Amino acid sequence: MSDNKIATPMMKQYFAIKEQHKDYLLFYRMGDFYEMFFDDAVKASAALDIALTKRGKDSGKDIPMCGVPVAAHDIYLQRLIRKGFKVAICEQMEDPAEAKKRGASSCVQREVIRIITPGTITEDSILDARKNNYLLVVCEGGQELGIAWVDVSTGEFATESIPAAFLGAAFSRLDASEVIVSDKMLANPRFYEDLNEVKDRLTVLANVKFSADNARKRLENMFEVQTLDAFGNFSKSEVTAAGVLIDYIELTQKGQMPRLQKPKQLIDGTVMEIDASSRRSLEIFASLSGERGSSLLYIMDKTVTGPGARLLAQQLASPLTDSEEINRRLDMVDFFLTNPDIRDKVRELLHASPDVERSLSRLSLRRGGPRDLSAVRDTLAKIPAFSALFYQNGTILPETLDKTLQMMGVHTHLVDLLERALGKDLPLFIRDGGFIAAGYNPELDELRTLRDESRRLIAGLQNKYSQETEVSSLKICHNNVLGYYVEVTAKHGQALLESEAKGKTTFIHRQTLANTARFTTVELSSLEEKIRGAAEKAVA
């Protein structure tokens, strides 16, 4: 790829954007397609098994090109991410019609709105609903390492300080989709073996980005606190790892931060560290032959929701060592074992509950859809039923369960708002429109009426004019030159011109042909203006 001086304005724009995103496949929006060029096109076409074509020339050579439809790009993203690629999404930031107003050679404004990496995915179509998708940062700090991890799709955020010897065990426990380290750490022979185990998941950043002071300020600003002490007694390397994590998320999300929980510090020794070899031998998540169907998780997992499955997997991956915490968990187990009726009803309620964790994350990133809003509504609407189920007949609850129920709170106002605002048959994407309920917004209702009932409105106006003028053959027609117009035979033209004198509608002459006369009215022009683009305005 070059910056050829004879390149078209569009390709010059492409070169400039690609220069800033060298390490990513650039999905460059052109109309209804994301196009890729040069080496990106060659790599993507091979990975996706799609046709490699060409577009123009650069330095006398054909420019390789391939593309995927915008409407189905999630499918292709899924395949690319699973093969280890990182993708930069470059969108059109204005209507092409606006660009044309600046001149025939003007280029539509474009910019990268998001970088998609294995650890920053939020789409359900790419994620495994029953497995966390962790992004992990490792930071050196003397004899110990600071690690921080987040699941961008759920907001879970945690840190831990571990002995360097436990790094491999931490990799195995968290099974992160993407691991971020500094170039300095990558060059340290001490970590060669452990980093080699996750080499296909590594993202290497310059060591200068691992600044403890900058990281602390970054975290304090993000959570709007003067100090991090209330969250935990973090080590310097933990704070650095957490700050680098926040910076990387902001970089990939182009300034849009997901809903992140306050960082939870995992105290060294509170969970059992199991090295990778022992973990494989225990067959917790897969058998020695790699099959999940005979693993401990597969046998135990009777959960009915994605969040429940993820929580169970976390607890199996990180066995507790604190006897008091173990007993609190056993109290919960005992309660549900001795109350089968409550257990069965809870499972029924949970079975109908959507994955609100991931819905909230997408909404916070402004990538949520109408169904994510309904997930919030439907989940919050079930809280009274949960409470009524447990707080009945003087049932004595375990302390942890009681606290959990109290934390759920009451959200009647929000549930009512979403119930009134959302329609019944919700589309997957916002761009499809039609998800706001009728009667919620008068202006939107008017636009929809114009969109859906324009023929009826025009027919009603035609009937009105026909009766006023007593011209039964009067019609309201449409063409691309005049738009909507009233048409009568030439002999009835005079009757329309005399209508105003009789205190009726004023007809304005537009055109006379051999056998017909055409008119418009203020009322018809006003209706036409409203009808024009009503569908687009309703979606907007």
Per DSSP, 422 falls in state B
Spatial CB neighbours of 274, under 8 Å, sequence gap ≥ 6: 169, 172, 173, 282, 319
pLDDT band with cut points at 50, 70 and 90 for residue 131: very high
Range with lowest mean pLDDT among 143-157, 167-181, 328-342, 468-482: 468-482
Distance CA 386, CA 395 (A): 13
Contact status, residue 450 vs residue 457, Cβ threshold 8 Å: yes
What does pLDDT average to over the chain? Answer: 91
Q: What is the mean pLDDT of residues 119-130?
A: 90
pLDDT at position 30 over 90: yes
Distance CA 31, CA 87 (A): 19
Residue-level pLDDT at 4: 52
Distance CA 122, CA 259 (A): 12
Contact status, residue 34 vs residue 67, Cβ threshold 8 Å: yes
In a domain, 301, yes or no: no
- Written as one string, the DSSP assignment of 287-330 is -TTS-STTSHHHHH---SSHHHHHHHHHHHHS-B--HHHHHHHH
Tokens (6 digits) for 8: 């078209």
Beta bridge partners of 34: 29, 68
> 455 and 427 in one domain?
no
For 230-351, where are the E strands, in sequence order?
264-266
- Which is nearest to 497 in space by CA: 469, 477, 523? 469
Residue-level pLDDT at 224: 92
> 56 and 108 in one domain?
yes
pLDDT tens digits, one per residue of 32-65? 999 999 999 999 999 999 999 988 877 778 899 9
Contact status, residue 267 vs residue 231, Cβ threshold 8 Å: no
In a domain, 425, yes or no: yes
In a domain, 307, yes or no: no
pLDDT at position 401 over 90: yes
Spatial CB neighbours of 482, under 8 Å, sequence gap ≥ 6: 510, 511, 518, 520
Distance CA 353, CA 374 (A): 11
In a domain, 313, yes or no: no
> 111 and 202 in one domain?
no
> 421 and 502 in one domain?
no
pLDDT at position 457 over 80: yes
For the ranges 175-184, 279-288, 443-452, the one whose mean pLDDT is highest: 175-184
> 142 and 55 in one domain?
no
- Which is nearest to 392 in space by CA: 337, 352, 346? 346
End position of a domain, from candidates 377, 407, 432: 432
Spatial CB neighbours of 149, under 8 Å, sequence gap ≥ 6: 134, 135, 136, 137, 157, 158, 159, 174, 176, 245
pLDDT at position 382 over 80: yes
Q: What is the mean pLDDT of residues 292-316?
A: 94
pLDDT band with cut points at 50, 70 and 90 for residue 6: low
> 498 and 396 in one domain?
no
> 273 and 140 in one domain?
yes
End position of a domain, from candidates 432, 455, 486: 432
CATH number of the structural domain spanning residue 206: 3.30.420.110
Residue-level pLDDT at 495: 85
pLDDT band with cut points at 50, 70 and 90 for residue 318: very high
Task: Count each helix (H run) and each strand (E run) in the chain, helices first.
Answer: 23, 16
Beta bridge partners of 223: none
pLDDT tens digits, one per residue of 63-85? 999 999 998 898 899 999 989 89
Radius of gyration, alpha carbons of the chain:
31
Spatial CB neighbours of 148, under 8 Å, sequence gap ≥ 6: 136, 137, 139, 157, 158, 159, 160, 238, 241, 242, 244, 245, 263
In a domain, 532, yes or no: yes
Which uninterrupted H or E stretch holds 64? strand 61-69
CATH number of the structural domain spanning residue 103: 3.40.1170.10
> 451 and 405 in one domain?
no
Tokens (6 digits) for 31: 């109309």
End position of a domain, from candidates 432, 459, 493: 432
In a domain, 311, yes or no: no
Which uninterrupted H or E stretch holds 236? helix 236-252
Range with lowest mean pLDDT among 230-244, 346-360, 382-396: 382-396
Q: Is the pTM of this model over 0.85?
A: no
Residue-level pLDDT at 501: 67
- Which is nearest to 306 in space by CA: 439, 458, 127? 127
Q: What is the mean pLDDT of residues 168-189?
A: 95
Residue-level pLDDT at 143: 83
Tokens (6 digits) for 54: 């060409």
pLDDT tens digits, one per residue of 148-163? 999 999 999 999 999 9
- Read off the amino acid at residue 166: F
In a domain, 87, yes or no: yes
> 228 and 184 in one domain?
yes
Q: What is the mean pLDDT of residues 517-531?
A: 90
Residue-level pLDDT at 482: 87
- Read off the amino acid at residue 249: I
Per DSSP, 444 falls in state H
> 273 and 150 in one domain?
yes
> 143 and 256 in one domain?
yes
Cα-Cα end-to-end distance for the chain = 38
pLDDT tens digits, one per residue of 469-514? 889 999 999 887 888 999 999 889 888 888 776 778 889 999 988 8
Long-range contacts formed by 274-283: CB under 8 A, 24+ apart = 274/169, 274/172, 274/173, 274/319, 275/168, 275/169, 275/172, 276/168, 276/169, 276/171, 276/172, 276/197, 279/172, 279/173
Distance CA 223, CA 405 (A): 25
Spatial CB neighbours of 102, under 8 Å, sequence gap ≥ 6: none
**How many independent structural domains does the chain possess?**
4
What is the domain extent for residue 367? 323-432
In a domain, 297, yes or no: no
Beta bridge partners of 511: 518
Long-range contacts formed by 477-485: CB under 8 A, 24+ apart = 482/510, 482/511, 482/518, 482/520, 483/528, 483/532, 484/458, 484/520, 484/524, 484/525, 484/527, 484/528, 484/531, 485/510, 485/511, 485/518, 485/519, 485/520, 485/524
Residue-level pLDDT at 331: 95
CATH number of the structural domain spanning residue 421: 1.10.1420.10
For 70-177, where are the E strands, in sequence order?
87-92, 110-116, 135-141, 144-151, 156-163
> 157 and 262 in one domain?
yes
